[in-house]
């Protein structure tokens, strides 16, 4: 019998990828590929890994003589849509186009803090400190506590993802406006208002789902210069955050901390297209050691 975590992973993989599992036992929201009758590559990987570990343990207990799972290879999945990042000019165009829309505050905070879309959708006002804590020692500037997400269980993606981020002045400005606008929405909704304490919510206070955010995001971008709104998604604001910091010379270690990664290796793997080559120490030192006059 496998460990509880292994069994849970196996059940989740089967629930996501096997059509024989009863509908009542599947996750509430299924991936579009699964709805189309396709098995997700990540589900196959999870299933293969769980079976491989289980058979290895059985071999250690002399229950089986051979691990046939190792003879099987997980087929390659279809390539996903490559992510991209906004340039500074494009980012300014996006902010200008979104101003005055219902998504303006969301876009500003996402782009200027690098928070994940599932973290912003779960952000509550009790984790927003627009005045900071000047009485603290040392004084704390305006900040948000990114401690929750809309993932199952409400926790962030990883333990390192729980972080407290100082807010740029533009974020402070738009969040004060968001707080005021939400007050008017609450009055307009009357008895229909559903209080969840969310910073980003519907006109009646209900949580936003990924589809709501993506649709509103594209509407907000429709007038942005040199931007095709249909080609962009909210999560690419986070990619743009990484790219803009990297272009400005911010060290990879600091970027990794800001985006809530467990280490720089994760940041380099996930955002390899957005990060500029920064490991220049060896080249600089060697140029100094082996000085050579370059020919014109």
Residue 248: burial class (beta carbons within 10 Å; 0-12, 13-18, 19+):
exposed
Helix (H) or strand (E) holding 240: helix 236-247
**Which of the 8 DSSP states describes residue 84?**
-
pLDDT given at position 257:
83
C-alpha to C-alpha distance for 66 and 77, rounded to whole angstroms = 27
- Using alpha carbons only, how large is the chain's radius of gyration in Å? 24
Residues 217-264: pLDDT tens digits? 999 999 998 889 999 999 999 889 888 888 888 888 888 888 887 776
Task: Give mean pLDDT, residues 99-108.
Answer: 93
Enumerate the active-site residues.
Answer: 116, 157, 238, 261, 271
Residues 256-293: pLDDT tens digits? 888 887 776 666 666 655 555 545 556 666 667 666 55
Q: Is 100 left (phi over 0), alpha (psi -120 to 50) or beta?
A: left
C-alpha to C-alpha distance for 220 and 214, rounded to whole angstroms = 10
Residues 138-182: pLDDT tens digits? 888 999 888 877 666 555 555 657 788 889 999 999 999 999 999
Stated pTM of the model: 0.68
- In the three-class reduction of DSSP (H, G, I as helix; E, B as strand; rest coil), residue 254 is classed as helix
**Which of the 8 DSSP states describes residue 163?**
E
Give the number of other Cβ atoms within 10 Å of residue 31's Cβ: 15
Helix axes 104-113, 88-98, angle to 10 degrees: 160
């Amino acid at each position: 019998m496998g460990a509880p975590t292994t069994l849970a992973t196996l059940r989740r993989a089967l629930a996501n990828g096997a059509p024989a599992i009863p509908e009542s036992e599947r996750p509430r929201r299924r991936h579009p590929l699964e709805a189309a009758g396709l098995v997700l590559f990540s589900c196959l990987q999870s299933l293969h890994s769980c079976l491989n570990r289980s058979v290895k343990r059985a071999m250690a207990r002399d229950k089986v003589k051979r691990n046939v799972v190792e003879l099987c290879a997980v087929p390659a999945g279809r390539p996903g849509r490559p992510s991209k990042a906004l340039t500074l000019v494009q980012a300014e165009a996006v902010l200008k186009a979104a101003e005055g829309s219902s998504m303006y505050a969301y876009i500003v905070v996402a782009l200027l803090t690098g928070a994940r879309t599932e973290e912003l959708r779960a952000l509550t006002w009790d984790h927003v400190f627009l005045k900071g804590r000047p009485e603290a020692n040392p004084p704390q500037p305006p900040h948000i506590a990114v401690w929750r997400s809309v993932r199952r269980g409400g926790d962030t993606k990883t333990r390192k993802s729980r972080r407290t981020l100082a807010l740029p002045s533009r974020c402070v400005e738009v969040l004060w406006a968001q707080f005021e606008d939400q007050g008017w929405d609450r009055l307009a909704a009357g008895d229909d208002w559903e209080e969840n304490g969310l910073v980003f919510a519907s006109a009646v206070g209900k949580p936003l789902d990924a589809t709501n955010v993506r649709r509103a995001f594209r509407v907000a971008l429709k007038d942005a210069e040199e931007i095709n709104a249909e080609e962009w998604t909210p999560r690419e604001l986070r990619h743009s955050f990484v790219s803009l910091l990297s272009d400005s010379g911010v060290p990879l270690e600091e970027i990794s901390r800001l985006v809530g990664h467990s280490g720089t290796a994760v940041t380099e793997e996930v955002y390899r297209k957005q990060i500029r080559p920064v490991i220049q120490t060896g080249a600089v030192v060697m140029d100094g050691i082996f000085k050579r006059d370059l020919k014109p």
